């Protein structure tokens, strides 16, 4: 231990791995000065062998900003994903015991308190989506080495599962009442199992109606899907039905020479078609509402066509 006095305070100096270390203790007591020097030596030794001092975990509100920036960067081409996480994060921030806590203080007890509070006003499905967002955020914080452990988050049971089976008779009723261009898109989705976003981004260069290499049907190539692995393999296309969407049909607005669906149309046409596709039949389309009423059901949505592909 090497300390010396300069003015009214003590300084220390020593060699560590050939480097001269010197600093002021800002103390006038020699015993306290030696303790400070010893603490500095210990810190350097721990760093040498890979032992790091544990830093304070950030506040939830601070890491929330970093989380949403991460989502925006990773999903810049999927604005609905960004909106989903932002909405769920706002609900979490409304709960003071979480919003005002450090991440390492958010344990199973705090999370259970959130579940009880939210369950008083919303259903299990809503709570589970918010818990999933919290879990994703805490796991990222763990990857970023902001916390040492991720608390166990248990989802609620009792979510309402929406099952809907589209019969051939219902298909005929809907298509008979369905206007263009939604009719053509519905046929395409029924025959191929395409999701809404995948159908909207198709171009004519992606569709081959004529069978090749001895195949029974044509095929199509999906440019953009729900994930990087979504529908990258050829899917079958029954030409006698999908030919309804051939270029030149006057029912398709916009640039029919490039796109069989509104994914590449004028912005106004795209908004109109996308709005029709995203909602319930009765909410978006006045005419198919007659078919919707004829079915006598309350769970039919257009995206179910993606699960009805032949």
Question: What is the number of structural domains in the chain?
Answer: 3
Same domain, 257 and 298: yes
Same domain, 128 and 238: no
In terms of phi and psi (left: phi > 0; alpha: psi -120 to 50; beta: otherwise), the region of 152 is beta
Q: What is the CATH number of the domain that holds 298?
A: 1.10.443
C-alpha distances in angstroms, 73 versus 66, 76, 119, 191, 208?
11, 5, 32, 35, 35
Same domain, 256 and 139: no
Residue 150 lies in a domain: no
Residue 185 lies in a domain: yes
Radius of gyration, CA atoms only, the chain: 31
Check if the beta carbon of residue 99 is closer than 8 Å to that of residue 58: no
Check if the beta carbon of residue 100 is closer than 8 Å to that of residue 110: no
Same domain, 184 and 257: yes
Count, residues in the chain: 310
Same domain, 229 and 288: yes
Ranges in the chain, pLDDT < 70: 1, 47-54, 162, 224-310
Q: Which residues form the domain of 26?
A: 3-48
What pLDDT is attached to residue 137? 96
- Name which of 264, 265, 247, 244 is nearest 189 in CA terms: 244
Residue 149 lies in a domain: no
Residue 152 lies in a domain: no
Check if the beta carbon of residue 204 is closer than 8 Å to that of residue 247: yes
Same domain, 132 and 25: no
What pLDDT is attached to residue 292? 57
Same domain, 112 and 7: no
Residue 148 lies in a domain: no
Domain boundary among 128, 143, 158: 143
Same domain, 64 and 101: yes
Same domain, 107 and 133: yes
Same domain, 38 and 72: no
Residue 110 lies in a domain: yes
Same domain, 88 and 37: no
CB burial class (10 A; 0-12, 13-18, 19+) of residue 40? middle
What pLDDT is attached to residue 306? 55
Residue 160 lies in a domain: no
Same domain, 79 and 208: no
Residue 12 lies in a domain: yes
């Amino acid at each position: 231990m090497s300390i010396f006095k300069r003015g009214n305070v003590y300084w220390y100096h020593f060699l560590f791995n050939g480097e001269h270390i010197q600093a002021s203790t800002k103390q006038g007591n020699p015993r306290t000065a030696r303790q400070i020097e010893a603490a500095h030596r210990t810190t350097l030794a721990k760093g040498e062998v890979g032992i790091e001092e544990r830093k304070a975990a950030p506040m939830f509100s601070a890491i929330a900003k970093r989380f949403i920036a991460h989502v925006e960067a990773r999903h810049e081409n999927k604005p609905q994903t960004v909106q989903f996480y932002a909405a769920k994060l706002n609900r979490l921030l409304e709960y003071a015991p979480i919003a005002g806590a450090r991440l390492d203080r958010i344990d199973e007890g705090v999370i259970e308190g959130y579940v009880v509070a939210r369950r008083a006003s919303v259903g299990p499905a809503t709570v589970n989506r918010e818990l999933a967002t919290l879990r994703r955020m805490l796991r990222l914080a763990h990857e970023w080495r902001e916390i040492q452990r991720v608390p166990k988050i248990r989802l609620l049971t009792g979510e309402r599962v929406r099952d809907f089976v589209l019969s051939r008779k219902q298909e005929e009723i809907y298509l008979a009442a369905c206007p263009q261009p939604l009719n053509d898109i519905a046929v395409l989705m029924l025959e191929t199992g395409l999701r809404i976003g995948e159908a909207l981004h198709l171009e004519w260069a992606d569709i081959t109606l004529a069978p090749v290499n001895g195949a029974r049907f044509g095929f199509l190539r999906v440019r953009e899907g729900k994930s990087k692995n979504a529908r990258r393999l050829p899917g079958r296309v029954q030409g006698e039905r999908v030919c309804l969407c051939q270029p030149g049909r006057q029912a398709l607005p916009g640039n029919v020479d490039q796109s069989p669906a509104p994914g590449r149309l004028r912005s106004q046409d795209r908004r109109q078609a996308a709005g029709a596709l995203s909602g319930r039949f009765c909410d978006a389309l006045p005419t198919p509402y007659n078919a919707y009423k004829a079915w006598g059901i309350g769970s039919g949505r257009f995206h179910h066509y993606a699960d009805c592909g032949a």
